[in-house]
Amino acid sequence: MRPNWLRTLASQPALRIGLAVLLILIGLAPVGAPILSDSSWRASAQEGAPAAVAAPADPFAYRIQAQGDLQTQIERSDDGGKTWHAVAAIPENVAEVMPVPGDEQVVFARSAESIWVSQDGGATWAHTGQLPSRPMSLAVTGRGNNAVFAGTESVGLAVSRDGGETWQVVNDATLTMNGMAPIAVTALRLDPQDETIVYAATAVWTGTSVARLTPVGTFVSLDGGRLWLQMDQLPINGGPAARIDTVEGRPLSVVVDNGKNAVAQELKLTPELIAELNSGDPAVRASVARALGLLGDAAATQPLMDRLNDRDILVGDRVVEALAKLNREDVAPALMNLLNADEEALRARAAYGLGLMKHEAATDLLAERLRTDRPLVARRAAEALANIGTPAALTALTVPLADAEMTPARHAAMAGLEQAGVEAMGPLVAALESQNPALRSHAAEMLGWIRSPDSVDALAAALSDDAPEVRTQAAWALGEIGSDDAQQALAAAQRSATDETTKTALAGAEQRALRNTAADRPAPSFGDGFVAALSSVPATSWTFFALFLALALALLLLTPRAADPVRSREERSR
């Protein structure tokens, strides 16, 4: 039976016609266009209004449209800039808008007075915490780093690491010129390959009766904005920097644009920079070491070698990372000698460096450190063997799997094998043939962690192993892999299993394989297909109109149902 309201509607032709006309008018109304349109009508209505942010290739993109004094309309694209629709407006003149990479629903905007933030894709906006000075530039890191940088008008750089709720001024002496004058950070840029590298251009307020901004220089931070190195000076007569662009293929090189002309800036290998390797501040030594590695100048080799024994762990890591980038022949022998140092931290540092260099000649020494050294050195040795990645290095990683107990060597080896991934499958499959049941069992376990379908045959054979612990681990591994072949192997073993322990392991593995398969390959449904089909329909104003036209036609075709004469007589007789 039709609901009462539907029967009433069907019996009133005038009402149906009126509603149909209303639906058609709604479909034609431009008010619906921002939702699904290609924004062509908006472009014509606002011709000449510049977009501050060009549409990138990312699905979510934002741009601004000036709306007069103290009003800026924020627009969002959900399809990489193909179509745009308006979201909320900000009651200030916004200069730039930046989403958080990896979480584009969180967006920051900078006006001449403050920083704004939206947590819902631009639908609503609120002020961030109070800045110590008016903002002049903005940079936003991705979701993992959670840092927001605001270059200010008079106190230099402010950084928030809690989404803009609070701000801290960076009191680095190099960036602020030791506080000699009010510093403005007029442009900011994050390195597109590494967000811990931040570039900033500064200016200083000068003048007596009329203050003006005089450019100072370009600076770089290699630790996420905490400590800064000066790259170069800016021309004092060119006006303050408005934009910084990185130079592809040239680390620590940028182009600074003041709106009239551009100038190249770079960090140079100077005696003064090298001398900072001997600074009393470990943070300075670490930043300089990293800079020397990125610059890649062989002249930095010996100064870096002189810091191999640095007492600070971070500095030591940065030194060996830089030496590995230089890839000089005289570096590896020094690191191999350091593997015999008395201090655990130095041996771990040497193993780390040899792994970064993929120095195959160090395989035997690293294997020895893996088997016999303390946990820190064993872990670094295992990581190094995984990085080297040769059959000999990966085989060396399987040796500690023979330990029945969870020794530091076995724990480190498991981490190294997991890091190596499918490359370690060959040595692990070979270990399934060992005479040591502990090695066979732990090798089967690691194959489960790696989850390579190519190991199914070897694990299926291990289901018939003499040792019950090997059969149990092989079943678990096949359940983790979860492929069709793995499920067939488990089912076949279940039919022939005789002991209860193996049967239980096989049953649990079969259930886990089914769950893993369902998680990896979700079964399609009519609803999924229908939604997918709808998503493929071009989202234009004509799509919107066609939808409402179809509703109007359906309404016009609605007719009253003929009455049943027998039923009507019965109803009248009551």
Domain boundaries along the sequence of the chain: 51-272, 329-431, 436-534
- Helix spans in 389-483 (H): 391-398, 408-420, 425-431, 437-450, 456-462, 468-481
> What is the crossing angle of helices 391-398 and 408-420, to 10°?
140
CATH architecture of 329-431: Alpha Horseshoe (1.25)
For residues 259 and 262, what is the distance between their CA atoms, to the nearest angstrom? 8
Question: If you count DSSP H runs as helices and E runs as strands, how many of each does the chain have, helices first?
Answer: 24, 18
In tens digits, the chain (574 residues) has pLDDT values of: 555 665 666 667 777 677 767 767 766 654 444 333 333 323 333 333 333 333 344 578 899 987 777 889 999 998 888 899 999 999 999 999 999 988 888 999 999 999 999 999 999 999 999 999 999 999 999 987 889 999 999 999 999 999 999 999 999 999 998 887 889 999 999 999 999 999 999 999 887 556 688 999 999 999 999 999 999 999 988 789 999 999 999 999 999 999 889 999 999 999 999 999 999 999 999 999 999 999 999 999 999 999 999 999 999 999 999 999 998 888 999 999 999 999 999 999 999 999 999 999 999 999 999 999 999 999 999 999 999 999 999 999 999 999 999 999 999 999 999 999 999 999 999 999 999 999 999 999 999 999 999 999 999 999 999 999 999 999 999 999 999 999 999 999 988 888 888 889 889 988 888 887 765 554 455 445 444 444 444 445 555 566 667 776 776 676 665 544 444 444 444 4
Distances (CA, A) of 185 to 133, 137, 194: 11, 7, 21
Spell out where 239-339 has E strands.
Answer: 243-246, 253-257, 262-266
Same fold for the pair 329-431 and 436-534? yes
- Rounded to the nearest 10°, the torsion over CA 273, 279, 283, 284 is -20
The CATH topology of domain 436-534 is: Leucine-rich Repeat Variant (1.25.10)
CATH number of 51-272: 2.130.10.10
Length of the chain, please? Answer: 574
Against a cut of 0.85, is the pTM above it? no
For residues 359 and 333, what is the distance between their CA atoms, to the nearest angstrom? 10
Q: How many CA atoms lie within 13 A of 128 on its CB side?
A: 32
φ, ψ of residue 155 to 5 degrees: the values are: -120, 20
**Amino acid (1-letter code) at residue 63:** R
